[in-house]
């Protein structure tokens, strides 16, 4: 009997379809060992030796795996093909105490019969460089978290914690909020000329105030209009690259409104069912065989004119992408039909369709078309220049299956020197706007561009900073809480290097160098820890306690009539309290009002609430008397 150990029961069930009765497939249910929760678990005086302990809830499972391993002729460790998967496999090996010739590592990036059997036929030793890189990350994060957290309890508030990557993410959100708060709106005006032939043009001019806009509008109403130029310009549009982890999370956020955590959970399900290739990747490479199959499918399904002669290759943006890995793609293009006809999980189907379309589109012909720029002169007391742009698609190419980024705008037939008859002049007052707050997509994109974090870290980072109430989501965008601002400012004042963007990116590079065998993990940790420990000691002695700013509601305390009602943040979120606490212990539920009245009862306020799963929805403040609830904010 041969024993194959994977992480999850779903993955085990899928592998069982391809392996015969001589293989017994068992799940480890993730990690079976970790650093202890109750203490640091890292011997900083002896080369940062980690002190791993068996995870309590995994004891029974570990005992079963040991028994099965003793009876097995071969033990294959088939955990995920990344650093964490390699580390899980290493921990399993340590617990099983099996000999190297018995225990072997197998790796595959898609759960298909061909990939599984190929892996079984080519087992390898554990890659200790990958294990060391993952171990270094775990120890580094443990040192930061377990050393800084007690300091935050002492200087700010009990129950707080710090983390290497998540603290940088909070810094980005805090800085964005301050940028928005400091932004000054600037007035400007746009003027449009609508003509009776259906052409709409925009004035090319900078207009900064009402008087200027009215003067120009008056002059334009009596002006004469002539077409100065009509310039057609052909264009080609190349499809985007197949999905990496970060781009999948970004598109799922923008198109489906999902969090990164939700996207990764559903992608994990798809991978373990054998429907997609491994979903934690920063590579845009595609296997030659997959590209060949895609070309044949495109030709048969849409016609040979939609295929390309030479396979399209995309440059991987990540400087540390592992070339052996692939982008995220379907394992079988024909499976889309079965999934649509079966009672498949709706979310799984939606994400699968995004992956399916992106993969096929990246190997389809370019979109071609013509952009036409029309320039119109308006001759009044002054001469004015107007412009209009139109677009016509001549061949839809990869648009055939993918959502268009732009819509066609077909201009009316028009010629140079043509005199146009004015229908209406429209003026619109505008104000410059601050850049938008981060959502899941834009925060992940920023972290990736800065080289902070890796594919496997984005989703847990975004979840952690919300769980710890350092940030909150308002209309799907991140805003820092008072606690988040206090922690960020304290860390920036006293540990600026830990929150430094370049420093954090370089630390990621060092972890990659460990994985590539170019550095040893202990010196990397030592170079970080020694100055960190000295700074920690100094700050503990000299830093003053930080006061968390409270949000004023404008109401007087109904209990003592002396203090003000303020918004505080506790373990379970925001609540109302008296500013004189602890002298006054008034406490009440906090309602995050949108400023709208309930569309159902008309009396209650529309408030932002959380579902049991943590998803934001809109409800009535008069609940349960009024049952209004909506995932979308009501229109005013």
Active site residues: 278
Cα pseudo-dihedral 262, 348, 314, 289, rounded to 10: 140
| Residues paired with residue 576 on neighbouring β-strands, in sequence order | 567, 588
Longest CA pairwise span in the chain (Å): 96
| Under 8 Å between Cβ of 441 and 449 | no
User: 166 burial class (0-12, 13-18, 19+ CB within 10 angstroms)?
Assistant: buried
Write down the residue that tokens 């212990």 correspond to.
585
| Residues paired with residue 26 on neighbouring β-strands, in sequence order | 5
- Transcribe 435-504 into DSSP letters: PPPP-HHHHHHHHHHTT-S-TTTHHHHHHHHHHTTSEEEETTEEEE-HHHHHHHHHHHHH-HHHH-HHHH
| Under 8 Å between Cβ of 611 and 619 | no
Task: Read off the tokens for 223.
Answer: 């002006």
Can you say whether residue 48 is alpha, beta or left, with left for phi > 0 and alpha for psi between -120 and 50 degrees?
A: left
| Under 8 Å between Cβ of 422 and 193 | yes
3-state secondary structure of 533: helix
| Under 8 Å between Cβ of 578 and 559 | yes
DSSP state of 409: B
Report the candidate in 120, 121, 140, 459 with the shortest Cα–Cα distance to residue 268. 459
Distances 371 to 197, 240, 389, 417 between C-alpha atoms, Å: 19, 20, 7, 20
Task: Read off the tokens for 191.
Answer: 């003027």
3-state secondary structure of 296: helix
Distances 112 to 18, 19, 292, 326, 457 between C-alpha atoms, Å: 8, 10, 17, 15, 26
- Transcribe 126-186 into DSSP letters: --HHHHHHHHHHHHHHHHHHHHHHHHHHHHT-TT----HHHHHHHHHHHHHHHHHHH----
Question: Which ranges of 1-47 would DSSP assign to H, the alpha helix?
Answer: 9-16
Question: Which ranges of 19-82 would DSSP assign to H, the alpha helix?
Answer: 59-71
Distances 363 to 124, 404, 553, 629 between C-alpha atoms, Å: 33, 16, 56, 43
Which are the contacts of 205, defined by CB distance < 8 A and separation ≥ 6? 191, 216, 384, 385
Task: Read off the tokens for 518.
Answer: 């170019």
């Amino acid at each position: 009997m041969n024993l194959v150990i994977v992480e999850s029961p779903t993955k085990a069930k899928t592998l069982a379809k391809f392996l015969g009765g001589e293989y017994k497939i068992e799940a480890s249910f993730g990690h079976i060992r970790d650093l202890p929760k109750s203490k640091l678990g890292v011997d900083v005086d002896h080369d940062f030796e980690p002190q791993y302990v068996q995870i309590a809830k995994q004891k029974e499972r570990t005992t079963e795996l040991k028994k099965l391993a003793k009876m097995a002729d071969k033990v294959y460790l088939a955990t995920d093909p990344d650093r964490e998967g390699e580390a899980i496999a290493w921990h399993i090996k340590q617990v099983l105490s099996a000999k190297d010739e018995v225990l072997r590592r197998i790796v595959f990036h898609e759960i298909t019969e061909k990939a599984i059997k190929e892996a079984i036929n080519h087992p390898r030793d554990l890659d200790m460089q990958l294990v060391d890189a993952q171990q270094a990350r775990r120890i580094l994060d443990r040192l930061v978290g377990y050393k800084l957290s007690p300091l935050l309890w002492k200087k700010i508030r009990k129950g707080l914690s710090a983390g290497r990557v998540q603290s940088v993410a909070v810094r980005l959100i805090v800085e964005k909020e301050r940028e928005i708060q400091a932004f000054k709106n600037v007035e400007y005006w746009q003027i449009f000329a609508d003509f009776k032939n259906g052409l709409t043009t925009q004035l090319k001019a900078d207009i900064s105030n009402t008087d200027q806009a009215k003067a120009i509008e008056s002059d334009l109403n009596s002006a004469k209009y002539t077409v100065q130029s009509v310039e057609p310009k052909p264009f080609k549009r190349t499809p985007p690259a197949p999905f990496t982890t970060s781009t999948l999370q970004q598109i799922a956020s923008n198109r489906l409104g999902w969090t990164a955590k939700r996207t990764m959970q559903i992608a994990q399900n798809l991978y373990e069912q054998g429907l997609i290739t491994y979903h934690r990747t920063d590579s845009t490479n595609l296997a030659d065989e997959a590209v060949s199959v895609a070309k044949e499918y495109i030709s048969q399904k849409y016609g040979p004119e939609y295929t390309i002669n030479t396979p399209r290759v995309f440059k991987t943006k990540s400087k540390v992408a592992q070339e052996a890995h692939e982008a995220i793609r379907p394992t079988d293009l024909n499976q889309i039909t079965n999934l649509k006809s079966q009672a498949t999980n709706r979310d799984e189907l939606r994400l699968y369709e995004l992956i399916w379309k992106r993969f096929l589109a990246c190997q389809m012909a370019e979109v071609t078309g013509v952009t036409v720029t029309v320039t119109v002169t308006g001759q009044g007391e002054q001469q004015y220049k107007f412009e209009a742009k139109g677009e016509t698609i001549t061949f839809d190419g990869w648009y055939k299956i993918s959502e268009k980024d732009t819509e066609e705008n077909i201009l009316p037939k028009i010629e140079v020197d043509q005199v146009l008859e004015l229908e209406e002049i429209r003026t619109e007052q505008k104000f410059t706007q601050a850049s938008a707050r981060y959502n899941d997509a834009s925060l992940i994109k920023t972290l990736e561009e800065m080289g902070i974090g890796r594919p496997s870290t984005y989703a847990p980072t975004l979840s952690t900073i919300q769980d710890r109430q350092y940030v909150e989501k308002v209309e799907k965008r991140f805003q820092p809480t008072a606690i988040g601002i206090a922690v960020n400012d304290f860390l920036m004042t006293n540990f600026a290097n830990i929150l430094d963007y370049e420093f954090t990116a370089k630390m990621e590079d060092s972890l990659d160098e460990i994985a590539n065998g170019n550095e040893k993990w202990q010196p990397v940790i030592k170079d970080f820890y020694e100055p960190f420990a000295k700074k920690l000691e100094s700050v503990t002695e000299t830093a003053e306690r930080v006061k968390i700013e409270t949000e004023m509601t404008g109401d007087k305390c109904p209990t003592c009539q002396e203090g003000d009602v303020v918004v505080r943040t506790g373990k379970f979120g925001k609540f109302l309290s008296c500013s004189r606490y602890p002298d006054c212990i008034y406490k009440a539920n906090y309602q995050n009002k949108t400023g709208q009245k309930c569309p159902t009862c008309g009396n209650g306020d529309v408030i932002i609430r959380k579902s049991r799963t943590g998803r934001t929805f809109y409800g009535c403040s008069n609940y349960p008397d009024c049952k209004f609830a909506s995932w979308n904010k009501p229109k005013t």
